[in-house]
Structures are given as structure tokens and as C-alpha cells.
A and B are shown apart, each in its own frame.
Chain A
Amino acid sequence: MAMEILDPTVEPRKQPLTFVPRPDSLTGKRIGLVENTKYNSDKILAKIGEILKKEYGAAECTMWRKHNSSVPAHQEIIDEAKRGVDVVVAGIGD
């Protein structure tokens, strides 16, 4: 017998996502590093920061630590990053 069934899924909410313009150069730029709390993520980010200073002329680095690896960066990090850095490096250190 013919029947009709209902869709159990949803379409994700669409929202515009735009990137801020990328800097042409890192020379003199202040770098923010967001550490996700996993083993060695601080070490690899520190190393990346060193490379950005030594090889790309970045001025300084500031590192922040998230509350834990599963949550977005908390507001304090966002606020400080807005005020004090030009570029942010984040990722999953695992």
C-alpha cells in the first residue's frame, strides 16, 4: 500500500561567512597563538611563532590557552586578540 514518510533531517542554518583580508606581509605584525590544551600544542605553536618572527619578520607573539580542546576560544581571548594582535594562528594540536 502506498504511503508517505517524513524527512527526519534538517538543512543547516545558512549564514554568511567572510574572511578578513589577509595581510600582504607579516613584517612588523603582532601574532596571536591560540593553544588548544592538548599535549605539545603549546610547543608547536611556540615554534611556529619563532619561525614567523625569524623568517617572516613578525614583531611579537602572544599565546592564549583555551578552556579545553572541545570548545571555541572564550570571549577573553577574542577580546584580547581584537585589541592586541594583527594575525591569529589556531589549530588542533593533538
Chain B
Amino acid sequence: MTTQIESKRYPVEDLSHAIEFCYQQGWTDGLPVVPPTERAVQAMLEAAGLEPRQQVAFITNRQVAVTAEKIAINAVMAGCLPEYMPVVVAAIEGIADPKWGYHGPATSTGGAAVLMIVNGPMAARLKFNSGDNLFGPGWRSNATVGRAVRLVMRNVIGTLPGALDRGTVGHPGKYSYVIAENEVESPWAPLHVERGFTPEQSTVTVMSAEGPHQFYNQLSSTAKGVLTSLCEDMKHHGSTNGQPQYCVVLAGEHMRTIANDGWSKKEIQQFVYENTHNSVAHLKRTERLAGALTAADETTMRPLVPSPQDVLVVAAGGRAGAFSCYIPGWAGGKKSSQSITKLIQDRRV
């Protein structure tokens, strides 16, 4: 390293005092953090090939420059291994992209979290879970990478719950919300390849998102049957007004059923798009649209998302069980927040 770490230093008595000190300073997400020592932070920076003062992102609304040094400190606190650092960096680049639109999803009463989908060889190398208990606990990379991003949002960008994070109910994904795609068993092109990257590249896709909504279908042995259950639930869920995108996560049994019928991701997207329209009449009757009901409202249809491509399809989840899920994006309208896929870069010389 040619430059030095410049962050303020605090002497503490021992490990347990260090953990309590971090609480007292308001630096944690409510769980204990790993005290960030210089040695641990240096290891994080070296693993990513970044200089401490290097700017990774600039958040315009907050006028905050996010440097590698601050990301590394927060990644240590989250419990990341040094080799996770490039994934955290790519995710921060993603949420700083103007198309992701940091201010809205980070601040809104809508309570979105940052869903992160890891693709490519690095997902397996770093042991990101793409199978059983997909969104659940138990995998260090899934748990700590998302936590690191949230700690950066909190400690560097100022997204403090109750202050500049005003989620009305929020959801547990705000602790960490990271999955990988099951590229080994998936019959389809992985998400990052659909988005123009090569299979050999590794990426992280960030999407401002509500929690996962699970759906069940154990009866059908056809793609159409499984996806009909999905669409029925999707089009009537609580936030069917202005989501820019949805993510559909198809787990093992459903994935195989759909693949056995020969459906591609494009066909899934098209089917979901076509079968999740609501009539204006329905939206008015359920108090989601204002105005008096007219005869034309019965036949005037509104799509859930602007286009079939706005349904992201990801193969992930356990092999057993007739469950999959859909994840609504943050409800801010088409131009408010788009999912962004960033390359995970190895910057080491």
C-alpha cells in the first residue's frame, strides 16, 4: 500500500470493550460487530487491490464519497472474509449508479432493502448459498456481504433508521439480502449472461426490493400450471401499483417442472407479464386507484411491470419442496429505481 489509512483511531481496553464501544457510537445494525483493527482492514483492502483513499462511489443526494477504506472498515465489522471485499465493492458501485437512484429506495417509507444476486464462478468459490434455505441463515458470505453493504449505507452514507431511512415497516432483508443463482442445476442462462456478461465473469445484481413472497404449487406438473399459481398471487399482492421490476426466484421442483416443458426464461417472463395484468376496475374496487368506476374500467387492463424484461428470473432455492417466490421491487415507478448488474473485479496487480 502506498497510502495510509486515515480514519480516526480509538483505543479500547479489550475485545469486549471494543464491541460495546461500537454500540455506544451507533455504528452497528443491532448485532455485535467485529472490531475493525488496522490489520484486518488492510487485509480487506489488499484482497480487493484497492488503495485506502480510492473513491469507489459518490452518492449525489448525500454529497458523500464512499472510499475503499470506509468500505473495508465496515466489511470487517460485518464479519466478511477479505476475499468477499470485491463483491461488497461491486454492490456499492451498483447502489451508487444513478439508475438505481439511491435516495428513493434507501429513504422511502416503502421500506425496500438491497437484494443482491451473485452470479458467475466467484459465487461458488466464495460459497454463496444458492440452495436450501435460500434467504435464511447459515452461510457466512450471504450473511456478511449484505450486512457490510447495509453498514456502509448506515455509517458512510448516513442511512440511519428513523432519520434518513424512514421505512414504515421495512423487512429483515435490511440486515442482509444476498443470494446466488444455482447455475449448476439451472437449465437456463444465468442472470448476468442475460444481461450481457460472459459465463466466466462474476457479477452482483442489486435491486431495491420488498421481502420475498413465497408461493406454493404441488399439484401441477406443467410450466403453465406452476406459473399460473405464481401470477394469481403476484397480481393481487399488496403493492401492485408502480413496481418498476419484480424478481421471480424458481426453486428446484418448480425449476425442473418448468424446464421439462421446455420453457426458456424469455417464455417465463412473457407468461408472467401477460398473466399479471389487473383491470382498472379491480384496482379501483380494491382502493388502489382513485376515481369513480366506469364501464370501460372492466376491460381496461394495466400491466404489473412496464415490460416482460422487467421480470427478473433467477433459478435458486432448495431441491425439495413445491415452493418458489417472487420479490416486488421498491414501489417508486419505472424511472425511480432499476436493478443494476456490476462486474466483480479483481483489481490486484
Chain B's nearest CB lies how many Å from the CB of A92?
11
Interface mask (B213-242 → A, CB under 8 Å = 1, otherwise 0): 000000000000000000000000000000
Chain B's nearest CB lies how many Å from the CB of A70?
3
The answer for the CA separation of A6 and B72 in the assembled complex, in Å, is 10
Chain A binding site: helix, strand, loop or mixed by DSSP?
A: loop
The answer for the CA separation of A6 and B3 in the assembled complex, in Å, is 16
| B63 with A15: CB separation less than 8 A | yes
Chain A's nearest CB lies how many Å from the CB of B232?
27
B186 at the interface (CB under 8 A from A): no
Residues in B with CB closer than 8 Å to A70 are 101, 103-105, 107-108, 332, 336-337
A12 at the interface (CB under 8 A from B): yes
Q: A68-B332, A71-B101 are in contact. Are A5 and B108 (CB under 8 A)?
A: no
Residues in B with CB closer than 8 Å to A67 are 335
| A5 with B103: CB separation less than 8 A | no
A10 at the interface (CB under 8 A from B): yes
The answer for the CA separation of A9 and B8 in the assembled complex, in Å, is 9
| B8 with A4: CB separation less than 8 A | no
| A5 with B35: CB separation less than 8 A | yes
B38 at the interface (CB under 8 A from A): yes
Residues in B with CB closer than 8 Å to A9 are 25, 27, 70, 155-156
Interface mask (B35-52 → A, CB under 8 Å = 1, otherwise 0): 111100100000000000
| B37 with A5: CB separation less than 8 A | yes
| B15 with A3: CB separation less than 8 A | yes
Residues in A with CB closer than 8 Å to B74 are 8
| A6 with B36: CB separation less than 8 A | yes
Q: Which residue of B lies closest to A9 (CB)?
A: B155
Q: A68-B332, A70-B108, A71-B103 are in contact. Are A4 and B27 (CB under 8 A)?
A: no
Give B contacts to A, CB under 8 Å. Answer: 5, 7-15, 18, 21-22, 25, 27, 35-38, 41, 61-65, 70, 73-74, 77, 101, 103-105, 107-108, 151, 155-156, 158, 290, 332-333, 335-337
Q: Which 8 pairs, one residue from A and one from B, show the smallest C-beta to C-beta distance?
A: A70-B104, A7-B8, A8-B155, A8-B73, A6-B7, A5-B35, A68-B336, A9-B155
